[in-house]
Amino acid sequence: VAQFKRYMAALAMRGSVEELLVGQVIPVYDHLWQAAGFTACPINFERAQVSVSAIRRMAGNSFNQCCACAFTSFIMANLEPSAFQRI
């Protein structure tokens, strides 16, 4: 767990939330989901309607980046294939 936290903190210092997620091969935009072969996009930054100021705050805060990345990774790891069809 400690090693994971250090790894996430190091990643967070180098980029935005988007870069962290994309770097872990977690699609965040429609075109990335489609490239991965999915027709539905369960998690999508384009449709999340997050304000530009909120994205800027997250981009400048490594703790927020770690939390966002870890939470999204957890969600993605626990999605069943049927979840993609329900959306």
Query: Can you read off the two tokens belonging to residue 32?
Result: 């990335």
- Looking at residue 58, its pLDDT comes to 58
Backbone angles phi, psi at 21, to 5 degrees: -70, -45
The answer for residues whose C-beta is within 8 angstroms of residue 77's C-beta and 6 or more apart is: none
pLDDT at position 5 is 65
φ/ψ of 10, rounded to 5, equals: -65, -45
In the chain, where the domains are located: 2-86
Question: Which tens digit of pLDDT belongs to each residue from 25-84?
Answer: 666 666 777 776 766 665 555 555 556 666 666 555 666 666 776 676 666 666 666 655
Predicted structure pTM score: 0.31
d(CA 78, CA 14): 27
